Amino acid sequence: MSRRSRRINLWIWIVLTVVSGGSLTGLLPFDTGSIFNGPARTGEIRSAETSFAPNENEANQPSFDDASNVVDASLNSRTTVNGNPIIDRPLLIATFNIQVLGQSKMAKPDVVAAIGEIIRRFDMVAIQEVRSKEEDVLPRLLQAVNAPGKNYSFLIGPRLGRTISKEQYAFIFDTDRLEYDPGSIGTISDPDDLLHREPFVARFRAKTADPSRAFTFWLVNTHTDPDEVPQELTALADVFRVMQQSRADEDDVILLGDLNAAPQQFGALGQVPGMRWSIDGVPTNTRRNKTYDNLLFTAQNTSEYTGRSGVFDMQSEFALSMEAALQISDHMPVWSEFSQWETSGSPQ
């Protein structure tokens, strides 16, 4: 079988690695309309190596815990989250490669404080390059993020990579603004080894006064290998298509991360029908000479995009020298704004 044939076959069947809850195993045909299963657990999020397949009979069951913070369940409305009033404004979703986020970086208080301040500027940050054998990096970072009394939480994937130096993806998000589906969290399995670090996926919903109208969406967190960018971008095009078909009632897929490529280099990924990207012609690395990081989604499906996006310039924002900015990361955060409400015609 050719490599191309194996690649096509790979995306006909997805295996998701459970990161929170559940212990079922198996393969999922993508035309079942759902990749959700498992108990709706909350609490500590840890990586695991269990794969699962959903039960088709559960595809239409509620995915999010609508019982929490509901004032009147019959009206399907709520007015508070975590004891705070509902925030009625668009969502700011960012991606940030924090360049070797591990023990060495966490030992620098000024750097940790700056990262915490950056994360608090956004409602969701997809993180790449968590690199530590210890399990305390994200909990310690979260302490810094939440120090001013915030309510951020995180999801983290398994250690990935072909070399001895493994990396993890993570999502850090404001629980006043977003909630996740506990059955949706997983890592795309790649038995033919087409991707150096397989994407980490989860489905989220904006916390609004009316959950039935809130924006729901998949996030696909990815970091391509710089030596195999064209091949990996081709594989990511298939990942994107599969995620579009993974659930009948969800049409919003946002792929975000460090692609190691500018839009003109996206190839098959950029040729997915209707595909658009947030950043074009603007450097995203700290030295300001490369465009590596981006958010991609299809214009027709994700019309919740408001048209606002940008690159968070750490050096100018915090009045840092180049040397000090590079202590934080060699990448700058990239962000886009999305309505907190599903647009007309979007599946609920």
The pLDDT value given to residue 189: 79
CATH number of 89-338: 3.60.10.10
Q: Which of 129, 179, 198, 223 is catalytic?
A: 223
331 an active-site residue? no
167 an active-site residue? yes
User: C-alpha dihedral over 126, 132, 134, 136, to 10 degrees?
Assistant: -40
The pLDDT value given to residue 75: 39
Q: Which of 167, 232, 250, 304 is catalytic?
A: 167
Task: Give the DSSP per-residue string, 187-199.
Answer: EB--TT---SSPP
The pLDDT value given to residue 191: 85
Q: pLDDT tens, position by position, for the chain (348 residues)?
A: 344 434 433 443 333 433 332 222 222 222 222 333 222 222 233 332 322 222 233 333 446 765 343 333 333 567 888 888 888 999 999 999 999 999 999 999 999 999 999 999 999 999 999 999 999 999 999 999 999 999 999 999 999 999 998 999 999 999 999 999 999 999 997 888 999 999 999 999 999 999 999 999 999 999 999 999 999 999 999 999 999 999 999 999 999 999 999 999 999 999 999 999 999 999 999 999 999 999 999 999 999 999 999 999 999 999 999 999 999 999 999 999 999 999 964 444
The pLDDT value given to residue 271: 98
The pLDDT value given to residue 84: 84
The pLDDT value given to residue 267: 98
The pLDDT value given to residue 83: 82
The pLDDT value given to residue 79: 82
Pairing of strands 124-130, 152-156: unpaired
- pTM score: 0.83
In order of 6, 102, 347, the CA distances from 81 in angstroms are: 46, 32, 24
Q: Are 298 and 253 in contact (CB under 8 A)?
A: yes
- Angle, helices 3-12 vs 229-245, to 10°: value is 30
d(CA 294, CA 95): 7
d(CA 312, CA 317): 8
Task: Give the DSSP per-residue string, 246-274.
Answer: S-TT---EEEEEE-SS-GGG-TTTTTSTT
